[in-house]
Structure 1
């Protein structure tokens, strides 16, 4: 295993790279990693650095401290007074840009969640991730209507897509909080691990995924995000086109050879 290379070593979003896994860490533990405009700008910059680095095969998204992300920075919001509407307009635009960057990133995004994932920020990031590993004491809540706001970060689309329309409506309208087991039962998260093993387990999970063929990971991620909106009649031709295009890559021949020769493949992303 190689040592981690620091790509962004200071600020509100830290980024390192090790063996194909980019570790993106929200770095405002004193505010429960609440999202203000500078933090959203830092998050987007880190995602774009991942997008531009062909070595990145998987992104592991975490939050420093006791909580993954408690949503928007409510203290900042309250301080804006009469200027809150304009600040929120700008903040939600930055949040939308960051969420879009996650969804359209070639590398799958794995979120590792401890403490609270709340608000449009925390839940938005969870729902925009491709896979989620939950600490056993983690909790999940949208919370927008609790402060007389509406969901943002694409939650009106991503949450029903993940857990179904009726349950999503309940969470969004009632501000229902979920514990880790409830989130797992609904399909919001993929697996639960012990609190003190979260980062270790998440890194191992990401590292295992990073050994897969990066072109295939990217294509599969794209199909998963687009297929539900296409319908099966349109999705199947798109799947066929994608598989045929991947068969032009060296990785496909390497994968086939590895199966025949009963060995582990060595994918190069080309």
Structure 2
């Protein structure tokens, strides 16, 4: 692992993005934000990418914002945290959520503050059994950001969302799985292999069809039933025109394994 704040590589359709400030639990500073912005731009532009795998280096996934990067000295002018969200976090979360292929997050340790909500913005979240999720904002007088106030009630319900946000308690990976916050909790030593295996599987699937699934599920938050039926009709029409659909049907009829190209 290099000394860069973020490690990025693409292999066999998998873009692997590793947060790499282990001494600060991979918390975000200006350099990390710039690296993430560049990496997500590269991911979006690389036509070979069919899945993104996000994880952290060291004993933590991400502790959110590096507070030493915006320390407020006594008597100093208060920072504009809204500007920080507008220019840094919000564009990152929008890009991550809207990528036209699956995103997998392997939470290898503590995910706190914005770090927890960045993980939850991914499509499928795996967590090591020793990992934990902490909405730490309330402990310093802030609100959950990076999409936290949107994702938490949708994933675990309003009562649990309020408890997590207002108390800032640590939620272990096993409990997070039971509550539906994440997809699966796995043994620590199995996390890397499980996440890579999942990414490889998704990279071999009909990428455009998976992108349409994401689009439909995201839209269901705001659509009424009739609107959702119309969207399903429109997206199914598009999906039916892909070469992967033709390959899937041909493979089924010929009783063989399909070879999807992501087209």
Same-fold status (TM-score > 0.5): yes
Instruction: Give the Å deviation of 1:96.
Output: 0.6
Within 5 Å, give how 1:137-148 maps onto structure 2: 137-148=130-141
2:235 is aligned with 1:253: no
Preserved contact between residue 205 and residue 262 of structure 2 (Cα < 8 Å): no
- Deviation per CA, 1:140-162: give whole Å up to 9, x if none: 11110101111111111111111
Within 5 Å, give how 1:70-149 maps onto structure 2: 70-78=63-71, 82-86=76-80, 88-93=81-86, 94-119=88-113, 121-149=114-142
Aligned length: 261
Instruction: Give the Å deviation of 1:124.
Output: 1.4
1:59 to 52, 73, 76: 52
Instruction: Give the Å deviation of 1:83.
Output: 4.6
1:40 to 21, 26, 33: 33
Q: Say which SS state the counterpart of residue 62 (structure 2) adopts.
A: coil
Q: What is the TM-score of this pair, normalised by structure 1? A: 0.92
Q: CA RMSD in A?
A: 1.7
Q: For structure 2, which runs of at least 5 residues remain unmatched after alignment?
A: none
Whole-angstrom CA distance in 1 between matches of 2:43 and 2:149: 27
Q: Say which SS state the counterpart of residue 230 (structure 1) adopts.
A: coil
* Corresponding residue for residue 173 of structure 1: 166
Q: Say which SS state the counterpart of residue 24 (structure 1) adopts.
A: strand
* Corresponding residue for residue 201 of structure 1: 194
Whole-angstrom CA distance in 2 between matches of 1:248 and 1:115: 42
Q: What is the TM-score of this pair, normalised by structure 2? A: 0.94
